[in-house]
């Protein structure tokens, strides 16, 4: 079977996942201050025109959060990751709801020693339970140019994408008795922090502070999703953000209920060539294979 390479994904991925213009339900902008605000360490933020830089030094990291919460849609941020020796650092981009029983979708970019591949770890929390890590080495150098990282979410699945190439799919398997994150509004977050107890080679390589400050650079902030009113109950909000006879939302279109053939090939290519860890295969941690791994097609 011929497998399409990620560089061919642009037109197909954009056509399917950016959305249908005539349909309602999107909040979209490219300006940081319209969608986000600093959440901690404002003195570690640097604004340079359209670029936002977050700094990490041995005093502090930094982070920001969306001003609103959302239920279904697509969130994208373009990031140029820390250059040079970034061992011990983590740059995170994620969505999360509130509370102990929260849902969460994580991108965690794990720093490396100079010359080693940059890896990205993804994780999914459902009702407060995580431990669903997958890790892959990126097929490009993410420190030299900006690349887009996206989370697409509807009632059928969650899709993690890198430059519109799907790298992970978490499907709704409620029919198998497996909970799916579809009933909690989620904020959008990013942060840079020190995690040298685990981030690089399992914590064996520590952060070299002589290289600080470590800087991650952002642009292209885009949220094409259903904004969730703070005054609305979660159950009502889920209805508000779901298509009905009166209202159609682009993320509920049948073409977005699963990957198309091209995207499925891309995902297979990523898994076959770049995945270095999958919790579904870790029998030491999980002697009994997790139920979603039994039923999942990817």
Q: What share of the chain is helix, strand, coil (3-state, %, to 5)?
A: 20, 35, 40
- Residues with Cβ within 8 Å of 88's Cβ and at least 6 positions away in sequence, in order, are 111, 194, 195, 196, 199, 200, 205, 206, 207, 208
SS3 66: strand
Q: Of all helices (H) and strands (E), which one includes residue 252?
A: none
Which residues carry out catalysis? 104, 108
Quote the CA–CA distance of 289 and 282 in Å, as a whole number: 8
Q: What tokens were used for 8? A: 């061919």
- Residues with Cβ within 8 Å of 22's Cβ and at least 6 positions away in sequence, in order, are none
Q: Of all helices (H) and strands (E), which one includes residue 148?
A: strand 147-153
The single residue listed with the structure tokens 């978490």 is: 170
């Amino acid at each position: 079977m011929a497998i399409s390479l990620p560089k061919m994904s642009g037109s197909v991925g954009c056509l399917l996942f950016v959305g249908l213009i005539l349909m309602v339900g999107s909040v979209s902008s490219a300006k940081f201050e319209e969608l986000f605000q600093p959440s901690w360490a404002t003195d570690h933020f640097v604004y340079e025109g359209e670029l936002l830089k977050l700094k990490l030094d041995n005093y502090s990291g930094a982070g920001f959060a969306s001003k609103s919460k959302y239920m279904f849609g697509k969130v994208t941020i373009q990031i140029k990751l820390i250059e040079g020796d970034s061992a011990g650092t983590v740059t995170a981009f994620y969505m999360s709801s509130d509370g102990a029983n929260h849902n969460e979708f994580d991108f965690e970019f794990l720093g490396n020693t100079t010359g080693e591949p940059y890896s990205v770890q993804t994780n999914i929390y459902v009702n407060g339970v995580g431990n669903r890590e997958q890790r892959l080495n990126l097929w490009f150098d993410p420190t030299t140019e900006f690349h887009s990282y996206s989370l697409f979410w509807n009632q059928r699945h969650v899709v993690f994408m890198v430059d519109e190439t799907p790298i992970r799919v978490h499907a709704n398997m409620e029919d198998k008795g497996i909970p799916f994150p579809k009933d909690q509004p989620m904020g959008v977050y990013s942060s840079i922090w020190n995690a040298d107890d685990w981030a690089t080679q399992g914590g064996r390589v520590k952060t070299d502070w002589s290289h600080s400050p470590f800087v991650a650079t952002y642009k292209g902030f885009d949220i094409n999703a259903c904004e969730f009113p703070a005054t609305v109950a979660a159950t009502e909000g889920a209805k508000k953000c779901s298509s009905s006879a009166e209202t159609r939302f682009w993320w509920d279109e049948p073409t977005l209920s699963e990957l198309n053939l091209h995207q499925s090939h891309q995902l297979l290519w990523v898994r076959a060539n770049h995945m270095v860890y999958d919790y579904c295969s870790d029998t030491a941690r999980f002697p009994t294979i997790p139920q979603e791994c039994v039923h999942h097609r990817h």
